[in-house]
Amino acid sequence: MMNCKQAAQMLSEKLDRPLSAKEKMALTLHTTMCPPCRLFGKQMGSLRDLSKAYTKPKDQHEEKN
């Protein structure tokens, strides 16, 4: 059974590598039952979005193709 410490690390690694089917299943099982880890996962995504917003205050110079 995955614990919070392992889940937290996996919620970060999810952003950097594809998780295996087994890992995905264990992680889903854990986060379904664990609200703090669910929040943590969301916040990992927020950090990525914030970093994007930080470096790219405007989108109009982004190339479209």
Partner 1 sequence: MTNATLSVEMDSSAASNIFQDGAFIEELRVQMLKFARLQVRDIQLAEDAVQEAMLSAYQHIDRFARQSAFKTWVFSILKNKVIDLLRKEKRHVVASQLEDGPNLSGEALIEHLFEENGHWQKDERPKKWDQPDHGVENEHFWRIFDACLEALPAKYGRLFMMREFLEMETPEICHNEDVSVTSLNVTLYRARLRLRECLEDNWFGKEKS
Q: Alpha-carbon distance 55 to 52, whole Å?
A: 6
Site map for partner 1, 32-61, x if CB under 8 A? Answer: ----xx-xx-xxx-xxxxxxxxxxxxx-xx
Residue 27 makes CB contacts below 8 A (sequence gap 6+) with 2, 7, 10, 11, 14, 19
Shortest Cβ distance from residue 31 to partner 1 (Å)?
A: 12
Query: Which amino acid is located at 47 in the chain?
Result: L
Q: Binding partner 1 by CB under 8 A: which of 9, 24, 25, 32? A: 9
Interface residues toward partner 1, by CB under 8 A: 3-6, 8-9, 12-13, 15-17, 36-37, 39-40, 42-44, 46-58, 60-63
